[in-house]
A = this chain, B = another copy of it.
Amino acid sequence: MKLNDLLKENSQWLRGTGANADIVISSRVRLARNLADVPFPHKADPKQREKVVTTVLRGIENCELLKNSLVLNLQELKLLDRHFLMERHLISMELVESRKSGAVVISEKEIISIMINEEDHLRLQAIQSGLQLMDTWRLIDQADTALGKRIKFAYSRDWGYLTSCPTNTGTGMRASLMLHLPCLVVSKQIGKVLQAIAKLGLAARGLYGEGTEPSGNFFQISNQITLGSSEEDMIDNIERVGKQVVAHEENARKFLLARNRKQLEDKIFRAYGILQKAQIISSAETLNLLSSLRLGIDLGLVQDVNHNVVNELFMLTQPAHLQKIEGVELSPEERDVKRGDLIRRFLK
Residue numbers of A with Cβ under 8 A of B are 262-263, 265-266, 269-270, 272-281, 337, 340
Chain B nearest CB, measured from A38 CB (Å): 53
Seed contacts A262-B337, A273-B274, A276-B277; 18 additional CB < 8 Å A-B pairs? A262-B279, A263-B280, A265-B279, A266-B278, A266-B279, A266-B280, A266-B281, A269-B278, A269-B279, A270-B274, A270-B278, A270-B279, A272-B273, A273-B273, A273-B275, A273-B278, A274-B274, A276-B276
Name which residue of chain B comes closest to A281, CB basis: B266
B residues near A279, Cβ cutoff 8 Å: 262, 265-266, 269-270
17 A-B residue pairs with CB within 8 Å: A262-B279, A262-B280, A263-B280, A266-B340, A269-B277, A269-B279, A270-B274, A270-B277, A270-B279, A272-B273, A272-B277, A273-B274, A273-B275, A273-B276, A273-B277, A274-B274, A276-B276
B residues near A272, Cβ cutoff 8 Å: 273, 277
Chain B nearest CB, measured from A79 CB (Å): 27
Copies of this chain: 2
Closest 5 CB pairs of A and B: A273-B277, A273-B273, A266-B279, A269-B277, A266-B280
Chain B nearest CB, measured from A275 CB (Å): 8
A275 to B269, CA, bound (A): 10
B residues near A277, Cβ cutoff 8 Å: 269-270, 272-273, 276
A270 to B336, CA, bound (A): 14
A278 to B340, CA, bound (A): 20
A272 to B281, CA, bound (A): 15
